[in-house]
């Protein structure tokens, strides 16, 4: 959970200030959670599309004086390259921090922790139900596929045959989900899911003193960075 809050700080911090330094803080954290390799790979993959367009746009259209080379009417400037570089590093910092969050946080614990800190139980329910919705749908779809195959639906044949199979496969998934909605929501009401007010949660989400301190420090660093940037007391870094 501490990771969550710390990363919130990181993300915002990544916009301003010394990006390279932040990059140094994220990777060690990732290493301690043993996800460094995956993190780098995933972040690179995710930022690649944006990175390409950023590079193309800024290198060629950024107003600048020192022209490096030209393609047609477009001039590649040193200023453009510099800007592109800075933007890319920022992007990478953001994607790695979000990635770190995604790889180290269990969604369920996150939602429950939010509820413990004041999120309405209804929102918590919606978040958790959404998380579970996909696996449940997949399971349902697989049962439906079996039932239709048992009625002779050919799922291994030609493309035309498979297209014909779309409605019998998708139809029951949607229909049964919709028809179950009413009974589902009734069952939820019976179990007092609609009750206003707080709940006393069964789960204890571990939160040590160290995490508390780390969060506080990061938050202070963020505030300082923003203040410094605004007041212009921050030195310009390469």
Partner 1 sequence: MTGRALDPGAVSTSAIRTEGLVHVYDGATRALDGVDLAIARGERVAIVGQNGSGKSTLVRHFNGLLRPTEGRVLVDGADVADRRVAHLALTVGLVFQDPDRQIFAGKVRSEVAFGPRNLGRRGAELEGAIDAALVATGLDKDAETNPYDLGYSRRKLLALASILAMGTPIVVLDEPTTGQDARGVERIHRIVAELSASGRTVVAISHDMRFVAEAFERVIDARRADRARWLPSRGVRRDRLADARIDVP
Partner 2 sequence: MLELTGVSYRYAGYATEVLHDIDLRLADGEIVGLVGPNEAGKSTLCLVASGLAPASVGGSLRGTLTLDGTPAAGLATHELAERVVVGFQNPNTQRSGIAATVFEEIALGPMNLGLAVAETVERTREAIERLKLEHLILRDPQRLSGGQAQLVGIASLLAMRPRHVILDEPTAQLDPAGTRLVGEALRSLAGTGTSLLIAEHKTDLLDGLCSRIVAIDGGRIVIDGPTGEVFDDPRLTGLGVERPARARLAAALATRGVEPGVLGGALEDATR
| Burial of 228: CB neighbours in 10 Å, binned 0-12, 13-18, 19+ | middle
Residue 199 engages partner 2 in binding (rule: CB under 8 A)? yes
Residue 220 engages partner 2 in binding (rule: CB under 8 A)? no
Residue 154 engages partner 1 in binding (rule: CB under 8 A)? yes
Residue 123 engages partner 2 in binding (rule: CB under 8 A)? no
Q: Which is nearer to partner 2, 55 or 145 (CB)?
A: 145
DSSP state of 188: H
What does the block give as tokens for 28? 């060690």
Q: Which one, of 166, 167, 3, lies nearest residue 98 by Cα? A: 3
Q: Which one, of 94, 102, 82, lies nearest residue 38 by Cα? A: 102
Q: Which is nearer to partner 1, 178 or 192 (CB)?
A: 178
Please select the residue that binds partner 1; options are 52, 67, 137, 147, rule is CB under 8 A: 147
Residue 201: which of partner 1, partner 2, none does it interact with, CB under 5 to 8 A by kind? partner 2
**Residue 76: strand, helix, or coil:** strand
Please select the residue that binds partner 1; options are 56, 175, 201, 230, rule is CB under 8 A: 175
Q: Which is nearer to partner 1, 71 or 150 (CB)?
A: 150
Radius of gyration of the chain (CA): 25
Residue 71 engages partner 2 in binding (rule: CB under 8 A)? no
């Amino acid at each position: 959970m501490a990771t969550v809050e710390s990363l919130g700080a990181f993300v915002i911090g990544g916009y301003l200030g010394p990006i390279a330094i932040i990059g140094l803080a994220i990777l060690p954290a990732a290493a301690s959670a043993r996800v460094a390799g995956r993190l780098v790979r995933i972040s690179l993959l995710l930022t690649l599309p944006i990175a390409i367009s950023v590079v193309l746009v800024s290198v060629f259209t950024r107003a600048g004086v020192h022209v490096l080379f030209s393609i047609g009417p477009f001039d590649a400037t040193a200023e453009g390259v510099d800007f592109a570089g800075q933007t890319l590093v920022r992007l990478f910092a953001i994607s790695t921090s979000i990635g770190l969050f995604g790889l180290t946080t269990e969604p369920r614990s996150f939602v429950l922790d939010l509820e413990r800190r004041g999120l309405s139980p209804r929102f918590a329910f919606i978040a958790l139900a959404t998380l579970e919705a996909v696996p449940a749908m997949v399971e349902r779809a697989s049962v439906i596929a079996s039932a239709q195959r048992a009625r002779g639906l050919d799922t291994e044949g030609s493309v035309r045959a498979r297209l014909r199979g779309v409605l019998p496969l998708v139809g029951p998934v949607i229909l049964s989900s919709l028809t179950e909605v009413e009974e589902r929501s009734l069952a939820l009401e019976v179990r007092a899911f609609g009750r206003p007010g707080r709940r006393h949660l069964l789960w204890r989400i571990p939160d040590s003193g160290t995490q508390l301190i780390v969060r506080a420090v990061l938050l202070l660093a963020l505030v300082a960075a923003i203040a410094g940037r605004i007041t212009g007391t921050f030195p310009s870094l390469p």
